[in-house]
Amino acid sequence: MSSAVCTYCHLPLPHSAANVAPEEPVYCCFGCSLAAGITRARGDEGRTSWMLVRLGLAVFLTMSVMVFNTFLYGQELGPTGSAEEAALSATFAGVMKYLSLLFATPVLLLLGGPVWRNTRAAWSQGRVSTDGLILLGVGAAFVTSYIATLTSRGPVYYETACVVLVLMTLGRYLEALGKLRASQHLSRWSELLPSEAHIRRGDDIVSVPLRDVGVGDRVVIPAGQRVGVDGVVEDGRSHLDMQWVRGESTPVEVEPGTAVPAGALNLEGTLVIRVTAPAAESSLQRLVARVEEARSSRGHYERLADRVMVWFIPATALLAVIGAVFGWQRAGWDEAVLTALAVLLIACPCALGLATPLAIWRGLGEAAARGIIIRDAETLEALARIRAVAFDKTGTLTHHDAAVESIFTDDNKSSSRRILAVAAGLAAGSQHHFSRAIVAQAERLGVAPEPVTNIRAAAGRGLTGSRRHSPDGDAAAIATSDGRNGVIMLGNVKLMRENNLSFSDRLLRHVESAVAAGQPLVCVAFDGRVQGVLTFREILREGAAEAVRELKRMGCRTELLTGDHVGRARILAERLDINVRSDLLPEDKLAALRELRARFGPVAMVGDGLNDAPALAAADVGIAMGCGSDLSRQSSAVCLLGDDVGQIPWLMALARRTIRTIRGNLFWAFAYNVIGIGLAVGGRLSPVFAAVAMMLSSLFVLFNSLRVGGGRRCESTGASRSAGANQKSAGHVDQRSTDGEERWGAHQPEKILSGGRTMA
C-alpha cells in the first residue's frame, strides 16, 4: 500500500498525519477515532462500547440540563406575581442552576476528554483542529456559567455548552459513518475473501489462514465460496462469478487449466486450484492497492478546497475574536463568549473538507465495483470534461479474433468442407487469429481437421505442411486422390506466388474483389495449385453500437481511428454508425487526436492498451480495455477490467455526476459558511443553532456525495444483450449458391469465435 489510510474508514490520511508508526491505529479525524471506539469494542468484553456509553450518558445528561433550562426559561417568561412569589421563583431558579451544574459538568468530562486528546494529538503533528477551538469556546461558556451560578448573578449557558458538545460529537460520528460508506466498496472487496483456505495435503484437507497459503499449494474451493488467491484450476469444472474482479456480468466457465483470480465466486462444483501467487500479491490485492492509491490523489477541486482550508482556520479564529469584541461591546463578557462560539461552530470547515473527497471517493469506488479502475481524482475530473471519444478498432470495438466469412472454391472440384478440413488441419497448432477462426469454424460445422505433419511457419506469410500418411482411413482416401507429394499451404497471396502456385480465373476474381474491399483473406493450396480462398470479417463487440449511440446522445463526438484499408473501415462505420478515419499510421492517430481536441474539446481515447499505447497516452484520458488479466501492465488513466465497451458511456455519466455533486457541495459549503459567519459575527446566531446548522451542513454534503453512486445501472449493456440476441436469431444461415460458392453464416452470431476471451 503506497499511502497511509485511516484505520476506521480506510480513506487516505491528511498529509500531515501520515507520518505515524506502522501497526498503530491511525485515524483521519476525531469522528473516525470516535466511531472506531464505538464499533471496535463490540464483542470485547472488557471495554464494551465504553465510547457509546459515554455518548449515551452525555446525551441523557444534556437532555436533563435542557429540561432544567426549560423550567428556567419558563420562570423568566412567566408572570410575575407578588413579592413572595418572586422570591420563591428566584430560589427555584437557583436550584435549577445548581442542578444544571451538577448534570452538565460530567458532559464536559465525558465528551470534552476525547476532543481534548484529539486536539492535542493534532497539535503535536503541527495541525490546529477546529474541534479544539470549539472546545475552547465550550470551556469558556462553562467558566462563565460556573461564575454565574456561584455568584448567583447573570445567566448560565450549561445547556448551550452541552448541546454544542453533543451535537459536535454526534456530527463527527455521523461523518465517520458516511466516510466508511464512501469507501465500503473496497472494504467489501477485502472482506469478501475467506479468512482461511482449505489446502489439500496428500489425502487430508487442512484449513490454514489465507496469508499462510503458499505458491504451489492446492486449495479446495467448495461451491458458494470465493477464491482467496490467484491460481490455476487443477481439478473440477464450474462457473465462476467474476463481476467483482473482472467486471464480467455473466458467469465464466472454468475447467482444468483455466486461471482464476482471487475474488471470483465459485457458483457450482468443487474446484481444486494450484496457487500461483501468495495471497498478499493476488490480483485482487493489487486492485485494491491501485484504487487506494487513486483515492489518495488530489484533484483540482480538492486542491482548491485545500488552498481555502489553509486560510480558513486562522481566518475563523480572527473572525471569532472580532465577533467576541463586538459581543463584548454589545452585552458584555457572556455575549462575547457566545458570539465567538457561534462563529467557530458555523465556520467549522467540515462540510468544505468533505465536499470534494467524499464525492470523488464514492465515484472511484463505484467505478471500481464495476471493474473500472481510475488512476486518480484528476482523471475522474477530466472524464467529466470529455467532448470527443476516439476508439481504436481491434480489441476495442471489435474482438481480437476474426470469423470466417466466406469460403470460395475453385470450381466444384473441392467442396468447401474439404478446403476447411485441410485448412483446419494446418491451422490447428497456430495461435494466429485467422488460424483460430478457421479451427473454430471447422468445429462449429463439425468438419474434422485433416491430419497434417511437418507443419512449418512461413514468417509473415502463412503455414506449410504435408499430409500424414497414416493407416487412418480418411487421410488415406484423400492422399490417394492426388497421388503427389502431399504438400499443403495456408497463407497469403505472396506465399502462393513464391511457391509458383497458380490461381484459377474464378479464384483470382474473388481475391481481387476481396482485396478491393479491404477484406482479409487466406489461400489454401494443395495438389500443386490454389484450391480455395477464405475471407474473414471482424466480430463486433457486444454493445459497441449501443455505446457509440449513447455517447452521441451525451453530446460526445465519436470517431474510429484505424490503420485499416478504407473499404474495410467503411463496412465497420456503417455497422456502428460512427465517423471513421482509416489508413492511419500510429503518428497519424496522434494528429487525429490533436485535431479532434482542437475541434471539439478534450478527447478520450479507448483502446486495448496493446498496440495503441502512444495514442492512449496522448489523449486527455486514455481508457484501456480488458486489463483484468494483468492490471500492473497497464499504465492508462482508466482501465476496464472487462471487455464491455458499454461501460464507457456509464463511466462518463458517473464522472459528470460526480463533478456536478462536487460543485454543488462546494457551492453549498461556501454559501453556508459565508452567510452563517455573517450572522454569527453580528451576534444573530445562537451557538445551539450554529451547532445544529454545522451538523446539518455536514449531513447534507454526506448524503449528496453518497448519492453519486446511486446512478442508473448500465443500460447500454442491457440493450446490447438484447441486440445480441436479435443477431443470433438472424444467424446460422447456410447459403449455398448454385455456382459452388458456399457462404457460411454471413450473419453469424458475434460470439462464435470469441472462445475464452469474452468468457461469455
Binding site for other proteins (CB under 8 A): 38-39, 42, 48-49, 52-53, 56-57, 59-60, 63-64, 66-67, 70-71, 73-74, 77, 79, 174, 177
Query: Smaller CB distance to other proteins: residue 3 or 64?
Result: 64
Q: How far is the CB of 110 from other proteins (least distance, A)?
A: 12
Q: Is 67 helix (H, G, I), strand (E, B) or coil?
A: helix
Q: How far is the CB of 45 from other proteins (least distance, A)?
A: 9
Which grid cell sits at 752? Answer: 462464435
Q: C-alpha distances in angstroms, 7 versus 32, 41, 111, 128?
A: 8, 14, 21, 21
Q: C-alpha distances in angstroms, 69 versus 63, 137, 163?
A: 10, 20, 12
Q: How far is the CB of 48 from other proteins (least distance, A)?
A: 6
Q: How far is the CB of 699 from other proteins (least distance, A)?
A: 10
Q: What distance in Å separates the CA atoms of residue 306 and residue 347, rounded to the nearest whole number?
A: 15
Active site residues: 392
Q: How far is the CB of 665 from other proteins (least distance, A)?
A: 20
Which grid cell sits at 436? Answer: 483460430
Query: Smaller CB distance to other proteins: residue 252 or 694?
Result: 694
Q: Is 34 helix (H, G, I), strand (E, B) or coil?
A: helix
Q: Is 751 helix (H, G, I), strand (E, B) or coil?
A: coil
Backbone angles phi, psi at 331, to 5 degrees: -145, 20
Query: Smaller CB distance to other proteins: residue 47 or 494?
Result: 47
Query: Smaller CB distance to other proteins: residue 71 or 328?
Result: 71
Query: Smaller CB distance to other proteins: residue 41 or 760?
Result: 41
From the list 91, 64, 63, 56, the residue with the least C-alpha distance to 75 is 91
The answer to whether the beta carbons of residues 639 and 627 sit under 8 Å apart is yes
The burial class, CB within 10 Å (0-12 / 13-18 / 19+), for 436 is buried
Helix axes 647-681, 377-385, angle to 10 degrees: 100
Query: Smaller CB distance to other proteins: residue 409 or 697?
Result: 697
Query: Smaller CB distance to other proteins: residue 74 or 214?
Result: 74
Q: How far is the CB of 354 from other proteins (least distance, A)?
A: 17
Report strand pairing: 218-221 vs 638-640: unpaired
Query: Smaller CB distance to other proteins: residue 704 or 720?
Result: 704
Report strand pairing: 398-409 vs 521-526: unpaired
Residue type present at position 689: F
Q: Give me the long-range contacts of 712-715 (CB less than 8 A, separation at least 24).
A: 714/370, 714/644, 714/646, 714/647, 714/649, 714/650, 715/550
Q: How far is the CB of 544 from other proteins (least distance, A)?
A: 39
Report strand pairing: 521-526 vs 487-491: antiparallel
The answer to whether the beta carbons of residues 241 and 192 sit under 8 Å apart is no
Q: How far is the CB of 173 from other proteins (least distance, A)?
A: 9
Q: Is 354 helix (H, G, I), strand (E, B) or coil?
A: helix
Query: Smaller CB distance to other proteins: residue 19 or 91?
Result: 91
Q: How far is the CB of 108 from other proteins (least distance, A)?
A: 19
Q: How far is the CB of 63 from other proteins (least distance, A)?
A: 4
The burial class, CB within 10 Å (0-12 / 13-18 / 19+), for 473 is exposed
User: Which residue reads 462553562 in cell numbers?
Assistant: 142
Q: How far is the CB of 123 from other proteins (least distance, A)?
A: 31
From the list 599, 604, 629, the residue with the least C-alpha distance to 615 is 604
Query: Smaller CB distance to other proteins: residue 110 or 496?
Result: 110
User: b/e per residue, 575-613, with b = 16+ CB within 10 A?
Assistant: ebebebbbebeeeebbebbeebbeebebbbbbbbbeebb
- In the sheet that holds 196-201, the strands lie side by side as 204-209, 196-201, 218-221, 271-275, 231-235, 259-260
The burial class, CB within 10 Å (0-12 / 13-18 / 19+), for 196 is middle
State the CB neighbour count (10 A cutoff) for residue 42: 9
Q: C-alpha distances in angstroms, 325 versus 148, 175, 319, 336, 508?
A: 20, 32, 10, 6, 98
State the CB neighbour count (10 A cutoff) for residue 123: 12
Backbone angles phi, psi at 332, to 5 degrees: 90, -170
Query: Smaller CB distance to other proteins: residue 63 or 674?
Result: 63
